[in-house]
A = this chain, B = another copy of it.
Amino acid sequence: MRLAVVLYSLVLALASADLAQSPVSVPYPDGFRAWTHVKSTVIGPTHKDFARQGGFQHIYANREAMTGYRTRVFPDGAIVVFEWLEMTENAGAFAEGPRRQVDVMVRDSLRFAQSGGWGFQRFVGDSKTDLAPAPTPQQCFACHDRLKKDGLVLSKYRQ
């Protein structure tokens, strides 16, 4: 009986570990800072969401995603990164602050067939493994799907 309990606990522990360590379906976009800079936006101090979202947003695209920005058909392998930074202010001049989060969308028409061919994920701060509890990948997809049908990528490349 004691053995059964031990074995049962072991099974539970393994299952839990497996869940916690399940591979991230959308991996961290290593090296994205060297990809092409698509465009930037800023949420300034007078914006209603400044406390939660204020600062710089930079969009980066890998080579496959740049093909998509040109043609609006994003091939498998395309990765778009939406990087959020806090900001500091000095007399109306804004500088980049610490990283808030890194949003990623990856194109894989088979693997992510249920979400328009795109997989979504948000990484917290500078972490390559900590996933934000919200928005979930499903929530990301729902919003992109609602906002625009054009390949689900909302931005355009600034020449």
Contacts and interface: CB of A to CB of B under 8 A. Distances in A.
Nearest to A36: B34
A37 B50 contact: no
Interface stretch (A39-47, A72-80, A114-122, A144-152): A39-47
A46 B91 CA distance: 7
A93 B44 contact: yes
B40 A56 contact: yes
Contacts of A92: 43-48, 50
A contact face: mostly helix, strand, loop, or mixed:
strand
**Residue of A33, A44, A89, A96 with highest tally of chain B CB at under 10 A:** A44
Interface string A81-113: 000000101011111100000000000000000
Nearest to A41: B95
Interface residues of A, number: 28
Contacts of A60: 37
A32 to B, nearest CB: 10
A2 interface: no
A159 interface: yes
Contacts of A44: 42, 44-45, 89, 92-94
9 contacts: A33-B37, A37-B58, A44-B92, A44-B93, A46-B92, A47-B91, A47-B92, A47-B93, A48-B92
Interface of A: 33-34, 36-37, 39-48, 50, 56, 58, 60, 87, 89, 91-96, 158-159
